Structure 1
Amino acid sequence: MKALVWERTGLEGLVLREVPVPEVPPGWVRIRVKAAALNHRDLYFVEGRMPVEPGTVLGSDGAGVVDAVGNGVTTVRAGDEVLVNPSLGWPKRSDAPPKGFRILGVPDNGTFAEYVVVPAENAVPKPAHLTWEEAGALPLSALTAYRALFTRARVQPGETVVIPGIGGAVALFALQMAKAAGARVLVTSRSAEKRQRALALGADAAFDTESDWPQAVKEATDGRGADVVVETVGGVTFDKSLASLRPGGRLITFAAGYGSHAMLDLRRFFYGQYTLLGTTMGSGEEFAEMVAFVERHGIRPVVDSAYPLERARAAFDKLLASRQFGKLVLWIGE
C-alpha cells in the first residue's frame, strides 16, 4: 500500500513509498482510508520537535470504510463507513488521560496510508451529512474542542466565549460548537480575511489580534469581560487572554505552538478569582458525544483545501506557513 512515512527531520524527510498492508489483530479493525487530515502534531514530528522512529506512518485524523475485522469484533462490520477516533487507550471520561494513553500516528502507524488498523472501539460510524473530506477532517480537532468547551470549561448558554487566533481547526470547531450551544462568541485574528470568514461562520464580533482586544472584549460585554477564553495559540496571547476575562472567569488552554511559557501575575490571578484549565484530546465516551453533537446541530468541518497523498508536502508547507483557514485534507482512497 502507499503510505507517507517519516524518515528524517524536515519536509524532505517525508517519503511516499510502498509498505505492507497491516495485519488485523484480534479486537481490531482495518480501515481503507478515504481521507485524512493534517494536525500541528504531524508538523511537530516533521520538524523534529517530538521523537519518532524512522519508517513510521504519520497521521491522526481519518475516515474510511472498514476492510476487515479481527477475531472477536462484533460492533463493526466490513463495509461500514467510519471515523477514526485517534484517542487510543482512553475509553471513559476522566479528569486526565489514563496511563498508557496515546494518540494514533506515532508510535502507532497512522492514517496517511491506504490502510490503517485501530481497536474496534475506535472505529465510529461516520455522520451521514458529512462528505469524506469533512469526515477525515473531524476527529482530533473536534474532540479537542468538545472536551475543552463542555467537559472542562462547562460552557453554558448565554455565556460569552473568546477565541484568540481564529483560523486553526480547533478554534473553528470551538466557534461552531459554542454557537450551537447558545454562547456568544468573540474571536481575534491578525488577518482581516480570517476575521470576516469567522463572522460569516457565526462569530458575534472579530478583533484584530494586534489591537487592544481585551479592552474591546470588555466594551462588547458592557465592561464585564468574557466568561470563558479558549486559548488556542500559546504564550504570546496568554496575558491578553487572561486580561479579557471577567472576575471569576475560566481560561482553558491546550496549545503551545506560539510559546510554551507564559508570565502569570499571581496577584492579579488570585484577586480575579480566575480558573485556569488544561486539556488535551478526549476519551472515547467524549468522542461519541462529540459525534452526536455534530449530527444534532449539522456542524460541518471547515476544510481549507484538499490534496492527493502524492502532494502532501504542499499541504505541510501551507500548515507551516499558517496560511490555512480550517483543515488541510489528504485524499487517499477512491
Structure 2
Amino acid sequence: MKAVQFTEHGDRSVLSYEEHPDPEISADEVLIDVKAAALNHLDVHTRRGLPGVDLAMPHIPGSDAAGVVTETGSAVSRFSAGDRVAVSAGRSCGTCEYCRHGQYSMCESFHLIGEHVSGVHAELAAVPADNLVPVPETVDWPTAGSAALVFQTAWRMLHTQADLAAGEHVLVHGASGGVGHAAVQIAAHAGAVVYATASSETKLDHARDCGADHCINYDEASFTDEIYALTDGRGVDIVVDHVGPATWDDSLKSLAKGGRLVTCGATTGPTAETNINRVFWNQLRIIGSTMATPGETDDVLSLVWDGTFNPQLRTTLPMSDIARAHELLEEREGFGKVVVVPDSEMKRSANNRANPGNNEYDG
C-alpha cells in the first residue's frame, strides 16, 4: 500500500507518500480501506516531535479517517466486511481505576492512534474494533473522515467537563479551526450565547454560519474589552481555550465570577502565567479535557450523521500532496477541516465521474 510517512521529525520536507508494508490485523482489529482522512494540528505537532513521545520509524500519522471494512480479526463481532466506519483515535487499557469507572480518556496508559502509534493516513489501516464507529450510508466520506476527533473533544469539553447550560455565555477561541468550529456549533445547539474569535472577517463569517452570535477579530481589538462591552462588564460563563499562553491571561479576565475555563490544548506553547488572585477571588474553575468516552463520541457523532452538526471542509487533497495539507494548518489558511484522500481513491472517483454507470462510491 501507499501511506503518508516520515522517518525523522522536522519541517514539512520530512513527509512523503510512498510504499509501505500492508498492515496485518490482530484478533481484535479490523482492516479498513481508507476513503477519506482529515488532518488535525496534532499531526503537525507529531511531525515536529513531541516531548516524551518516542516513535517507531517510519511513522504513519493521522488520527481521523473513514472507510470500508475489508477484513476482521477472529475476536471481532461488532463489524463485518463491507461495513462503513469512522475512526475514534483514543486508546485505553480498559482495566485501570479510571477505565473501570468509565473515564477512558483518563486512562493511565491513554494514547492516540496517529500520535503515539501508527496512524491512518494511508490506503489501508489496521484499527482496533473498539476504536470504530458505524457510519450511515447517507454520510459522505469527507464528513465521516473529519468529524470524530474535533467533535468528540468539543462535546466532552462543553457538556461533560464544563457542564454547559442553556442561556449561558460561551467564548470560543480559534473558531476557524477544528475544535473551535465544532465548539461553536455545540454551544449554539445547547442554547448558549456564543462569542467567537478569529483573525479575519472571512473566518468570522464562517463562525457566524456555525452559530456564533458575536464575532471578534482578535487582530483588530482586545477580545477581553469586546467581551466586557458585549456583556455589560459581566464576562462570560465559559471560555473554550485551546490556544495557550497567547490567550490564557485574557481568557481568565473574560470570565464572570464563578466562570469556567476549559482547555484541550496549547497551540502557542505549554506554559502560561496565571493570576492566582483572580482565580480564587472570582472563584473560577480551570478544567482540563482530553478526547471523550465511547458513549460521548457516539452521542455527538449521531448529531453529525443526522446533519445537526456539520464538519466544515476547507479543502480536499490527494495524500501525495500531504505537505500542502500540513502547510494549510501551519499557516492558518482558510476555515475548517483539511481532508486527504488516497491517490488511488481519487483516481477511482475520477473514473466514476467519467463513467456514470460505475456503481462504486464517488467520494
Secondary structure of the structure 1 residue equivalent to 2:251: helix
Report the residue type matching 1:144 in the other structure: T
Distance 1:164 1:279 in 2: 15
> Are 1:164 and 2:165 counterparts?
no
How big is the shift at 1:107? 3.3
Give the alignment partner of residue 222 of structure 1, picking from 224, 232, 255.
Answer: 232
Q: Which residue matches 1:46?
A: 47
How big is the shift at 1:149? 0.8
Q: Which residue matches 2:361?
A: none
Distance 2:26 2:163 in 1: 38
Q: Deviations over 1:295-314 (max 9, x none)?
A: 45621101100100111111
Distance 1:264 1:307 in 2: 41
How big is the shift at 1:219? 2.5
Distance 1:197 1:16 in 2: 32
Q: After the TM superposition, which residues 69-80 of structure 1 pair with which residues of structure 2 at under 5 Å, given as runs?
A: 69-80=72-83
Secondary structure of the structure 2 residue equivalent to 1:25: coil
How big is the shift at 1:239? 1.0
Q: Which residue matches 1:68?
A: 71
How big is the shift at 1:331? 1.0
Would the aligned equivalents of 1:90 and 1:284 in 2 still touch at CA under 8 Å? no
Q: Which moved more, 1:295-304 or 1:72-81?
A: 295-304
Distance 1:90 1:31 in 2: 22
Unpaired segments of 5 or more residues in structure 2? 349-363
Report the residue type matching 2:71 in the other structure: A
How big is the shift at 1:31? 0.8
Residue 45 to residue 65, structure 1, CA distance change in 2 (3 Å): same
> Are 1:3 and 2:3 counterparts?
yes
How big is the shift at 1:100? 2.0
Would the aligned equivalents of 2:90 and 2:105 in 1 still touch at CA under 8 Å? no
% identical aligned pairs: 35
How big is the shift at 1:90? 6.3
Q: Which residue matches 2:135?
A: 126
Report the residue type matching 1:10 in the other structure: D
Q: Deviations over 1:251-298 (max 9, x none)?
A: 001121113221111111100000100111122222112212334562
Residue 95 to residue 331, structure 1, CA distance change in 2 (3 Å): closer
Distance 1:11 1:306 in 2: 18
Q: Which moved more, 1:299-308 or 1:91-100?
A: 91-100
Distance 2:168 2:202 in 1: 26
Q: After the TM superposition, which residues 1-334 of structure 1 pair with which residues of structure 2 at under 5 Å, given as runs?
A: 1-8=1-8, 9-50=10-51, 51-89=54-92, 93-94=102-103, 97-210=106-219, 211-295=221-305, 298-332=308-342, 333=345, 334=348
Unpaired segments of 5 or more residues in structure 1? none
Q: Deviations over 1:29-85 (max 9, x none)?
A: 111110011111111122234543321111110000011000021111110011111
RMSD (CA atoms) = 1.7
Would the aligned equivalents of 1:65 and 1:79 in 2 still touch at CA under 8 Å? yes
Report the residue type matching 1:109 in the other structure: S
Distance 2:164 2:136 in 1: 24
Would the aligned equivalents of 1:38 and 1:328 in 2 still touch at CA under 8 Å? yes
Q: Deviations over 1:162-199 (max 9, x none)?
A: 01222110000000111111111101122121112211
Residue 323 to residue 237, structure 1, CA distance change in 2 (3 Å): same
Distance 1:158 1:224 in 2: 14
How big is the shift at 1:96? 5.3
Would the aligned equivalents of 2:28 and 2:129 in 1 still touch at CA under 8 Å? yes
Report the residue type matching 1:192 in the other structure: E
Would the aligned equivalents of 2:147 and 2:304 in 1 still touch at CA under 8 Å? no
* TM superposition score normalised by structure 1: 0.95
Residue 245 to residue 95, structure 1, CA distance change in 2 (3 Å): farther
Would the aligned equivalents of 1:228 and 1:245 in 2 still touch at CA under 8 Å? yes
Secondary structure of the structure 2 residue equivalent to 1:299: coil
* TM superposition score normalised by structure 2: 0.88
Q: How many residues align?
A: 334
